């Protein structure tokens, strides 16, 4: 059974099966709705059901309130159509036609970058190349049907060897397995690419990147791709970490800043007291941005990391003049637990 979904304000329509969420159906149909985690945890896909009924699967209660649901709001990544729908959500102006696919990958190498960050390189079958845009993410398909999202840290001009930066989550099913048991040459199944976190290259505005922890992963891919395309828009990369040891690939960021006049690198440590020799910036990474820019009106800003950091930073940047349309983010929400 399938239903017709009509989008407002664009008037575009697409079909959704009763076995898929609205976001899944939109991806299948090549319609670009906003979304992040696809898991009811980040709120990026929130929008209004103007006419028709939906069934809402499990979601994180912090993301949408009961009052909002009563007023017709929903999370389209968890909403299943029960009849034809008219929905209100801003379609994204994206022209590429990339569709996600399921494919096997071989773990080419595993390298610990810090005590809790692993660099994983994934090789595609020799006949296969992944079409993606730097900044998008993959989902690892676990045996029990669960999925785990990880950003692609490499640029799209290397489509058959993908790089992932995994932070160990204590008690986390997948990352503990990767750190404690996974062997090189293991075969995994992944689906992707997903996500709308990528560099908008139709703008001339200077770019501010704000990365917390492994939130650096998608941003690394974007910067490498921008360099390869000879893009010379000014870039300021702010990276937040607790202590110096957590700033993995610090040397690479310094190299970019040394080689390219248009790239600046600002590492910010939140626990700098533990670093006697640290002469750099201290505090929270988004606060360093707020200190440096009186008004963010003329900038495009890309922010990635822990959900709390992205949420607080978003509010603060908008209050400091950033246009809502110029804020792009991926929040690294947990896949589990989901609670109503």
> Binding residues for ligand FAD, per CB under 6 A?
36-37, 137, 148-151, 165-167, 169, 171-175, 195, 214, 217, 330, 332-337
Q: Which of residues 248 and 265 has its CB atom nearest to ligand FAD in the complex? A: 248
With binding defined as CB under 6 A, does residue 190 bind ligand FES?
A: no
Piece of the chain touching ligand FES by CB under 6 A; list 36-44, 149-157, 162-170, 230-238: 36-44
Bridge partner list, 327: 301
What DSSP designation does 248 have? T
- Checking phi first, is residue 261 left (phi over 0); if not, alpha (psi -120 to 50) or beta? alpha
- Shortest CA distance to 141 belongs to which of 103, 106, 179? 103
Distance CA 332, CA 303 (A): 11
- Which partner, ligand FAD, ligand FES, none, binds residue 40 by CB below 5 to 8 Å per kind? ligand FES
Q: Which of residues 88 and 158 has its CB atom nearest to ligand FAD in the complex? A: 158
Name the minimum Å distance from CB 239 to ligand FAD. Answer: 14
User: How many of the chain's residues bind ligand FES (CB under 6 A)?
Assistant: 14
Distance CA 300, CA 200 (A): 9
Q: In what order do the strands lie in the sheet with 73-75?
A: 13-17, 2-8, 85-88, 46-51, 73-75
Name the minimum Å distance from CB 264 to ligand FES. Answer: 31
Structure tokens at 196: 């709308």
With binding defined as CB under 6 A, does residue 77 bind ligand FES?
A: yes
Residue length of the chain: 340
Name the minimum Å distance from CB 217 to ligand FAD. Answer: 4
Distance CA 138, CA 146 (A): 13
Q: Which long-range contacts (CB under 8 A, 24 or more apart) does 61-66 make?
A: 61/339, 61/340
- Which partner, ligand FES, ligand FAD, none, binds residue 166 by CB below 5 to 8 Å per kind? ligand FAD
Distance CA 86, CA 13 (A): 9
- Which partner, ligand FAD, ligand FES, none, binds residue 75 by CB below 5 to 8 Å per kind? ligand FES
Contact 72, 50 (CB under 8 A): yes
Piece of the chain touching ligand FES by CB under 6 A; list 6-14, 34-42, 219-227, 322-330: 34-42
Q: Give me the 41-60 binding string for ligand FES, x by CB under 6 A, dash otherwise.
A: xxxxx---------------
- Which partner, ligand FES, ligand FAD, none, binds residue 212 by CB below 5 to 8 Å per kind? none
Residues engaged in binding ligand FES (CB under 6 A): 35-45, 63, 75, 77
């Amino acid at each position: 059974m399938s239903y017709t979904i009509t989008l407002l304000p664009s008037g575009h329509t697409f079909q959704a099966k009763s076995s898929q969420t609205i976001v899944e159906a939109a991806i299948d149909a090549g319609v670009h709705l906003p979304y992040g985690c696809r898991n009811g945890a980040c709120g990026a896909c929130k929008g209004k059901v103007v006419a028709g009924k939906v069934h809402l699967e499990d979601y994180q209660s912090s993301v949408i309130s009961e009052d909002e649901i009563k007023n017709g709001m929903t999370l389209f990544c968890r909403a299943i159509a029960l009849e034809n729908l008219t929905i209100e959500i801003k379609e994204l102006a994206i022209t590429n036609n990339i569709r996600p696919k399921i494919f096997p990958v071989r773990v080419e190498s595993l390298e610990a970058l810090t005590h809790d960050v692993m660099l994983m390189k994934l090789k595609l079958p020799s006949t296969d190349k992944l079409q993606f845009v730097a900044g998008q993410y993959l989902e690892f398909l676990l045996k029990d049907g669960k999925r785990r999202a990880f950003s692609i840290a490499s640029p799209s001009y290397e489509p058959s060897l993908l790089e992932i930066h995994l932070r160990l989550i204590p008690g986390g099913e997948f990352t503990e397995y990767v750190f404690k048991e996974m062997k090189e040459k293991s075969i995994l199944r992944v689906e992707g690419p997903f996500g709308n976190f990528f560099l908008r290259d139709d703008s001339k505005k200077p770019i501010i990147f704000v990365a917390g922890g492994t939130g650096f992963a998608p941003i690394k891919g974007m910067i490498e791709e921008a360099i390869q395309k000879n893009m010379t828009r000014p870039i300021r990369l702010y990276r937040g970490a607790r202590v110096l040891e957590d700033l993995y690939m610090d040397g690479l960021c310094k190299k970019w800043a040394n080689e390219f006049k248009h790239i600046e690198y600002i590492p910010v440590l939140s626990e700098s007291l533990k670093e006697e020799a640290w002469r750099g910036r201290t505090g929270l990474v988004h606060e360093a941005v707020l200190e440096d820019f009186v008004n963010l009106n003329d900038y495009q800003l890309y922010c990635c990391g822990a959900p709390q950091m992205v949420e607080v930073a978003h509010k603060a940047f908008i209050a400091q003049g950033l246009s809502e349309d110029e804020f792009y983010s991926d929040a690294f929400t947990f896949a589990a637990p989901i609670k109503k």
